[in-house]
Amino acid sequence: MTVSTTTTDFDRWWTDVLTIRPRGGDAFEAGPAPSAFPRLYGGQVAAQSLLAGAATVDPLREPHSLHTTFLRGGDHSRPVTYSVERLRESRNLSTRLVRAEQDGRLLATATASFHAPGGLRRHLEHEDGPTGPVPAPATLPGRPERLAAAFGAAVPDAGAAVWPVDLRYVDRVPWEPGPAEARNRLWMRAATRLPDVRAVHAAALAFATDLPMFEPVLFPHGLDWAEMIAGRSVYGASLDHALWFHRPARADTWQLLVQVSPVSARDRGFCRAEVRSEDGRLVATVAQEIGFVDPR
């Protein structure tokens, strides 16, 4: 399933991504959703795994972490099933193991944890503040405009020219040529309003952050972005994707992704990021490892 670059119904796109149907017991199914790629997008599997886990938990318990390990690629034109195992149910924590499968093939496993805050008489809160001023998102061009300026009508098929997340790069677009420091900042938000459900917004953050997390890993090496996403110079794929949700945050309002890739070694690259609200509060932390192989 592909999406028109001229008429895109982002409401429908997000509805398809965020809808899982009960199949009995602790099993669920998600139907095909629009895709910006010729494959099943890993961030979609992570998001739906979180939603499947949340469907078996008291709704007063909010997501506090998600760790997804990607095992095999999937077909975006076919449904995905999610089976949930209840690993822990304690006074204030619920933990679920989720298996994402398609046609009998295990695509990914995810561990999703949920927490009921408010048990401490004395609340422990601190955080490092944001560093440096950041241009407002309204002053920056969107990803489609940046891609069109760089590639015209020849945007690579895997370039996500049409995407249900509005991305606005602050420091560097990933297709800018030449080596650079392995860090970046960008604003992001869902391209339509989402339901007022905490698990939905946590899932949307998982969906949105998977796409750009590999990009700073490429910067020091001067790799050609278009060649890389096409799998011609080197083939890269997410091995795992982890998020910790520190505070509730709406994924349909602007969030700043502050990325740094501290290391790449032994054919793997690592990137971590802070997610900060417009007022600078740290709402989530993200980490991802990417594996690289030579093209076939």
The predicted structure's pLDDT at residue 174? 95
Average pLDDT by stretches of 10, the chain with 296 residues: 56 96 97 90 97 96 97 96 97 96 97 87 77 92 95 89 96 94 97 96 98 94 86 87 96 98 96 96 97 86
Which spans in the chain are helix H?
A: 10-18, 42-54, 143-151, 198-210, 215-218, 225-229
DSSP, res 7: -
CATH of 10-117+140-293 given 2.40.420.20, 1.20.1560.10, 2.40.160.210, 3.20.190.10: 2.40.160.210
Task: Return the structure tokens found at 202.
Answer: 């946590």
Q: Is 76 within 8 Å of 1 (Cβ atoms)? A: yes
Determine the pLDDT at residue 265.
95
- The predicted model scores a pTM of 0.94
Q: How far is CA 20 from the centre of its chain?
A: 18
Q: What is the pLDDT of residue 127?
A: 83
Please give the single-letter amino acid code of residue 83.
Answer: S
Delimit the domains of the chain by residue range: 10-117+140-293
Q: Is 56 helix (H, G, I), strand (E, B) or coil?
A: coil
User: Which helix (H) or strand (E) element contains residue 122?
Assistant: none
Contact (CB, 8 A) for 260 and 271:
yes
Q: Which amino acid is at 250?
A: R
* DSSP-assigned letter for residue 24: E
